[in-house]
Amino acid sequence: MKGTQCAPFPRHHHHHHRGGGISSSATLIRRPKWIIILVFFISISVIGAYIFPPRQYVYSPCYFFSSPLCNPFGDWKNSPTERDLTDDELNSDAVIKEILSTPPVESDNNKIAFMFLTPDTLPFEKLWEKFFYGHEDKYSVYVHSSDHKSGHASPIFANADIRSSKVEWGKISMVDAERRLLANAFQNTDNQHFVLLSESCIPLYNFDRIYRYLMETNVSFVDCFHDPGPHGTGRYSERMKPEVKKKDFRKGSQWFSLKRQHALIILADTLYYTKFKKYCQPSMSGNKNCYADEHYLPTVFNLIDPGGIANRSITYVDWSEGKWHPKTFMERDISKRLVKNLTSINKCVHVTSDEKRVEEQMHCLWNGVQSPCYLFARKFYPQTQHKLMNLLSNLAII
Ligand SMILES: *[C@@H]1O[C@H](CO)[C@@H](O)[C@H](O)[C@H]1NC(C)=O
Ligand SMILES: *[C@@H]1O[C@H](CO)[C@@H](O)[C@H](O)[C@H]1NC(C)=O
Ligand SMILES: *[C@@H]1O[C@H](CO)[C@@H](O)[C@H](O)[C@H]1NC(C)=O
């Protein structure tokens, strides 16, 4: 099943064994006194070193426990006991660090880029037109549609089409389309956040609320969790090594919102992109299926800037039916109660795909405070537009 709702909390509290090779006191007692004294002094100095470590290690538990969970980036990249970086990795590392430490170009007119990924026409153009109305200086719109000839129902979308190519479900062409949208939207230096939406998405809040939610935070909303099961790490190929190790492989829903620095990193990346293009495909040898759109972004951000992403999506999808594709809401499902339900969700849940089906829940945080998780929801049938427009308008969302 493709299903994930959002991201896990890092609940890997491994209990390290600190006092390894100390033999039982019963054996010690039979030894000469000097051994007891020696052991005593060694223990004191070990405890002393632990309490008063050399300065540069004060903040690094990895000084004692070289677990991979300790400081993943700094540690594996810089530790002399690990391999050297390849030239490509070194280049990539330098570029990414520079981008992350450079504030984006200042704009007097910050905008959100709404990037629609759709196979053909957008069924909810009229709905979005109402949503955007009155906020002309605060948004821009981009549409990647494999079928250009379809035309638009709203003038807002009239000039929004970008050059598009065919997108095949689960293939790298999906990631290519996402990057194409980013590359187009990035050219406008006013754009600070880049939201990926599908044709079946609707907004759950009014424009101002969504604008502030995205603009007044410095994280990207990228769904990311560790799934040790067949639909998670089971899709990993050893050929992604050494740049992407099995333990670094992550999963998440494709519907992201990226801040400007992160969008640039994705545009600049060839190292990880190439790995996923080659080794994360449907129907690979060994009957392996890998879907790059569910793994590329989560894995890259987990590697390069784990603290910079929220580990969850801001787009609700209902996977509760347990099928390959999420539930699609029909006219009879649309009600005030449904919208209230979706906007009251404040925890996100990830379930692993192994037989244990471990459920990880996390509170959705916004700048450290608990908040609703979702700003958008999918999937809605095109025929629901009329009812949706009445409802969202009554709720002052559009
Ligand atoms: C976001 O900004 C806060 C301060 O406003 C800072 O503490 C935090 O480290 C920043 N996070 C990132 C990922 O830049
Ligand atoms: C996301 O997960 C990573 C690693 O699992 C963690 O370091 C980071 O703090 C998490 N981000 C948030 C906002 O919880
Ligand atoms: C709202 O959520 C409740 C509890 O999760 C559920 O039982 C109910 O069916 C939902 N109602 C709608 C209209 O989706």
Tell me if 124 is assigned to some domain: yes
Across the range 4-14, mean pLDDT stands at 34
* Strands 369-370, 365-366: pairing kind: antiparallel
Q: Which two tokens stand for residue 296?
A: 């590329």
Residue 150: the pLDDT is 65
The predicted-structure confidence for 217-252, as pLDDT tens digits, reads as follows 999 999 999 999 999 999 999 999 999 999 999 999
* Domain co-membership, 302 together with 229: yes
Does residue 19 have a pLDDT over 90? no
Instruction: Answer for the pair 362, 9: CB distance below 8 angstroms, yes or no.
Output: yes
Tell me how far apart the alpha carbons of residues 8 and 305 are, in angstroms, rounded to a whole number. Answer: 16
* Domain co-membership, 198 together with 49: no
* Percentage above 90 pLDDT, the chain: 71
Residue 374: the pLDDT is 98
The count of other CB atoms within 10 Å of the CB of residue 329 is 20
Ligand 2 atom nearest to CA at 226: 5
* Domain co-membership, 71 together with 212: no
Amino acid at the residue 146 = S
Ligand 3 atom nearest to CA at 340: 1
* Domain co-membership, 112 together with 228: yes
**End position of a domain, from candidates 314, 341, 374:** 314
Q: CB within 6 Å of ligand 2 — which residues?
A: 10, 306-307, 310-311
CA of 309 to the centre of ligand 2 (A): 7
Which of 69-73, 229-233, 323-327 is predicted with the least confidence, judged by mean pLDDT?
69-73
Pocket test for ligand 1, best of 73, 101, 218 (most atoms within 8 A of CB): 218
Ligand 3 proximity of 163 Cβ (cutoff 6 Å): no
Tell me how far apart the alpha carbons of residues 310 and 221 are, in angstroms, rounded to a whole number. Answer: 5
Residue 42: the pLDDT is 52
Structural domains of the chain, count: 2
What range defines the domain where residue 50 resides?
39-78
* Domain co-membership, 184 together with 303: yes
Q: Which two tokens stand for residue 302?
A: 């987990």
* Percentage above 70 pLDDT, the chain: 79
Tell me how far apart the alpha carbons of residues 356 and 12 are, in angstroms, rounded to a whole number. Answer: 16
Tell me how far apart the alpha carbons of residues 389 and 318 are, in angstroms, rounded to a whole number. Answer: 21
The predicted-structure confidence for 96-112, as pLDDT tens digits, reads as follows 999 999 988 889 999 99
Tell me if 373 is assigned to some domain: no
Q: Could you tell me the pLDDT band of residue 148, with boundaries at 50, 70 and 90?
A: low
**End position of a domain, from candidates 314, 332, 350:** 314
Cα 99 versus chain centre, distance: 18
The predicted-structure confidence for 331-343, as pLDDT tens digits, reads as follows 999 999 999 999 9
Across the range 311-330, mean pLDDT stands at 91
Tell me if 146 is assigned to some domain: yes
* Domain co-membership, 48 together with 180: no
Residue 355: the pLDDT is 95
Tell me if 301 is assigned to some domain: yes
